[in-house]
Structure 1
Amino acid sequence: MEKISSFFNSIWDIISAKHQEGIYNTVCLGVLLGLPLLVVITFLFICCHCCWSRSAKSSQQPEQNKRKKKKRKDEEDLWISAQPKLLQLEKRPSLLV
């Protein structure tokens, strides 16, 4: 327990010494001490967002699958066809063997 308290006391002594040296050192210490906190908050936000969006997607998924299947049966995709690929193959020069 003494080692832990001496560690935090030494950190506090460094912080107070740098604060007395000038405002620039205080700002730098604030930024350096704030960055780990910012990383932890960002990590928690991303994890919570992923968990909540996953649960929302799983509850809405059956309805979306029905809509997609209906669209596939009713409409044809006119952008994809085999004919342009055949035309491209014919235009390529053949290799000499």
Structure 2
Amino acid sequence: MIMAKVRAFFENFWNTILTKHQEGIYNTICLGVILALPLLVVLTLLFICCHCCWSKAARSGRQPERNQKKKRKKKKAEEDLWISAQPKLLHLEKRPSLPV
């Protein structure tokens, strides 16, 4: 019973494709694009998942190097936190005046 319903679904689906193809090339192209979108989404998700898994495995072997990089970044970030008392005045002086 379930197999008959599945078979009927795919037969109706194929009949719809053939009908749209016979109606014109525009319908065929649109149908192709619409049917390709889910496949593109699945392939993209598969690529992202594989990329995350492979990069996670690669990162686990290089843990000490990563900690050293973090320490260096923290030192640079602490040096960049200094803010002058009048930052806007310095920027305004550098701008050329516009004729009125």
The normalised TM-score by structure 2 is: 0.68
Aligned pairs for 1:70-89 within 5 A: 77-80=78-81
SS of 2:59's equivalent in the other structure is helix
Per the alignment, residue 33 of structure 1 pairs with: 35
Structure 1 distance, partners of 2:60, 2:44, is 24
Residue identity matched to 2:50? C
Structure 2 distance, partners of 1:4, 1:50, is 35
Distance 1:59 1:2, change over 3 A: same
SS of 2:80's equivalent in the other structure is coil
Per the alignment, residue 24 of structure 1 pairs with: 26
Per the alignment, residue 42 of structure 1 pairs with: 44
User: Number of aligned pairs?
Assistant: 82
SS of 2:61's equivalent in the other structure is helix
Distance 1:62 1:25, change over 3 A: same
Greater than 6 Å deviation, 4+ residue runs: none
Structure 2 unaligned segments of length 5 or more: list them: 87-100
Alignment equivalent of 1:65, drawn from 51, 64, 67: 67
SS of 2:35's equivalent in the other structure is helix
Output the aligned Cα RMSD.
Answer: 2.6
Structure 1 unaligned segments of length 5 or more: list them: 89-97
Distance 1:79 1:21, change over 3 A: closer
